[in-house]
């Protein structure tokens, strides 16, 4: 079974980003970049499926600037077999990303496509669902457990209020939640080996995809600052403040 795992290059989760001076975007210059944590979980899950003898090949794909190849190499160091880099300098909306991935899937015919549920930059939580719609495939979002049973996929999902289990035929699309697994660290020999794994670079045009502009970002501003509060000296003072000042208890 072939597994396709799209991955995104994002600002590292531990880095605090700030809005740029002209309020057009966040300032990402010189920040530490990383593979989106949810994408990393998707790669890990695919690697585990391969180790379990269920997956036979793991293809990772990334859409973005040339430097996105670093994240493809990271994914290959974790165990992916080959990479596809769709090079573009444009910041594309999730629907456009889904259209490009759909074109890749048309070539690859993967049985399972596993994506992160959201990227921690745009926080959109859309791409997997959109790809499922475009490819006409069933979807299981926010997965906390993935089991392949023959030609069927059984997925437990994190939903508001609890967990839900769905069953669907392959090919299918899964988006990963935090509790699906804990990704491994890449070992040095695997990092070296990843450098020699095949990586194809293609363009949006060569995939035959035409994209539209759906929205314009008019401005990007800092969030409202909270007024600094006070430190209280004791539980008694806290209760007094909550009762008489804030009047919330």
**Footprint of other proteins on residues 88-107 (CB under 8 A)?**
93-95, 98
The verdict on 37 binding ligand FAD (CB under 6 A) reads: yes
CA–CA separation, 57 and 49 (whole Å):
10
CA–CA distances in Å: residue 219 to residues 21, 25, 26: 11, 7, 10
Torsion of CA 142, 110, 206, 209, to 10 degrees: -50
The verdict on 141 binding other proteins (CB under 8 A) reads: yes
For other proteins, the closer of residues 184 and 197 by Cβ is 184
Tokens describing residue 242? 């909550």
CA–CA separation, 163 and 13 (whole Å):
26
- Smallest distance from ligand FAD to CB 43, Å: 14
Binding residue (CB under 8 A) for other proteins from 33, 54, 154, 199:
154
End-to-end CA separation in angstroms for the chain: 57
The verdict on 138 binding ligand FAD (CB under 6 A) reads: no
Subset of 30-59 contacting other proteins (CB under 8 A): 38
Draw the binding track, 106-135, toward other proteins (x: CB under 8 A; -: no contact): -----------xx-xxxxxxxxxxxxxxx-
For other proteins, the closer of residues 170 and 199 by Cβ is 170
Draw the binding track, 164-183, toward other proteins (x: CB under 8 A; -: no contact): xxxxxx-------xxx----
Reduced to 3 states, what is the DSSP secondary structure of residue 185?
Answer: coil
CA–CA separation, 86 and 205 (whole Å):
10
- Smallest distance from ligand FAD to CB 65, Å: 22
Q: What is the DSSP letter of 22?
A: T
Task: Tell me which H or E stretch contains 167.
Answer: strand 162-169
- Smallest distance from other proteins to CB 217, Å: 5
For other proteins, the closer of residues 52 and 249 by Cβ is 249
- Smallest distance from other proteins to CB 193, Å: 30
- Smallest distance from other proteins to CB 188, Å: 27
How many positions of this chain bind ligand FAD (CB under 6 A)?
A: 3
How many positions of this chain bind other proteins (CB under 8 A)?
A: 80
C-alpha gyration radius of the chain: 21
Please name which of 108, 105, 128 lies closest in space to residue 41, comparing C-alpha atoms.
128
Task: Tell me which H or E stretch contains 133.
Answer: helix 127-135
Task: Tell me which H or E stretch contains 62.
Answer: strand 57-64
Phi, psi at 164, each rounded to 5°: -130, 140
Subset of 76-135 contacting ligand FAD (CB under 6 A): 120
Stretch that binds other proteins, among 43-51, 76-84, 202-210, 221-229 (CB under 8 A): 221-229
Interaction site with ligand FAD (CB under 6 A): 13, 37, 120
């Amino acid at each position: 079974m072939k597994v396709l795992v799209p991955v995104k290059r994002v600002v590292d989760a531990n880095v605090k980003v700030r809005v740029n001076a002209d309020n057009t975007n966040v300032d990402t210059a010189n920040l530490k970049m990383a593979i989106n944590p949810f994408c990393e979980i998707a790669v890990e899950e695919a690697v585990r499926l391969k180790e379990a003898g269920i997956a036979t090949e793991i293809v990772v794909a990334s859409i973005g600037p040339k430097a996105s190849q670093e994240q493809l190499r990271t994914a290959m160091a974790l165990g992916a077999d080959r990479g596809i880099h769709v090079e573009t300098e444009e910041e594309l909306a999730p629907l456009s990303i889904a259209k490009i991935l759909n074109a890749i899937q048309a070539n690859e015919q993967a049985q399972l496509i596993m994506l992160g549920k959201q990227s921690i930059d745009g926080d959109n939580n859309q791409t997997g669902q959109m790809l499922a719609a475009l490819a006409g495939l069933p979807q299981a979002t926010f997965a906390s457990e993935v089991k392949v049973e023959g030609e069927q996929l059984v997925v437990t999902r994190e939903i508001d209020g609890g967990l839900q289990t769905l069953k669907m035929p392959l090919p299918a699309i899964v988006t990963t939640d935090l509790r699906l697994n804990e990704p491994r660290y890449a070992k040095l020999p695997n990092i070296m080996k990843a450098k020699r794994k095949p990586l194809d670079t293609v363009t949006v045009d060569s995939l035959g995809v035409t994209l539209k502009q759906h929205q314009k970002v008019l401005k990007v501003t800092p969030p409202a600052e909270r007024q600094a509060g006070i430190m209280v000296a004791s539980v008694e003072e806290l209760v007094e403040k909550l009762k008489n000042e804030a009047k919330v208890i």
